[in-house]
Amino acid sequence: MAFTNENLVVAQEILARYPKPKSAILPLAHLAQDQDGYLTQDAMREIAELVGVTPAEVLGTTSFYTMFKRDPVGRLVVSVCTNVTCLVLGGPEVLEHLERRYAGDTEVTIEEVECLAACGNAPAMQVNYEFHESLTPEGAADIVDAYKRGELTARGVSGGTAGGGA
């Protein structure tokens, strides 16, 4: 999907920050992903036009970064750390529990990620880049359920607030 008129204004503001427009690829991709739920091919084409490179260059850049999802994901992306502190304090158990519990749930995408810088309160996860720490497997599922029920308000899939602003 193309940028909404509102986000197109944000996009122009982002472009104006940089001496060279190509620098705007990452923030524009975040903006598009928050808007569309993942980084669509249409969005990459539009970003290419905005910054003056080919769509292939936008793909070349964005495909390097794990935060950009080039296929549809759930409304809630749950990123569970299993790196070395979480490893010894229960991170893999949180991951396994969530993967089992939300298997087949199209609203929730569970992913294993690298260190989130929350090791003081391991194990940790993020839901759309909001931190949740000192987890148990059941406690982590309670948090995801609270997002599903709307009791917790989720950020965009790229971690932005509603309407973008990356």
Total binding residues toward another protein, as defined by CB under 8 A:
50
Give the Cα separation of 134 and 3 in Å (integer): 38
| 164: contact with another protein by CB under 8 A | no
Map the footprint of another protein across residues 35-94, applying CB under 8 A.
Answer: 51, 53, 60-62, 64-68, 79, 82-85, 87-89
Q: Write a three-state SS string for 20-62.
A: CHHHHHHHHHHHHHHHHCCCCHHHHHHHHHHHCCCHHHHHHHH
Q: What is the Cα Rg of the chain in Å?
A: 17
| 155: contact with another protein by CB under 8 A | yes
Give 40 or 82: the residue with its C-beta nearer to another protein: 82
Q: Which residue is listed with tokens 């928050």?
A: 34
Residues that bind another protein (CB under 8 A): 17-20, 22-27, 29-30, 51, 53, 60-62, 64-68, 79, 82-85, 87-89, 114-122, 126, 128-131, 155, 158-161, 166
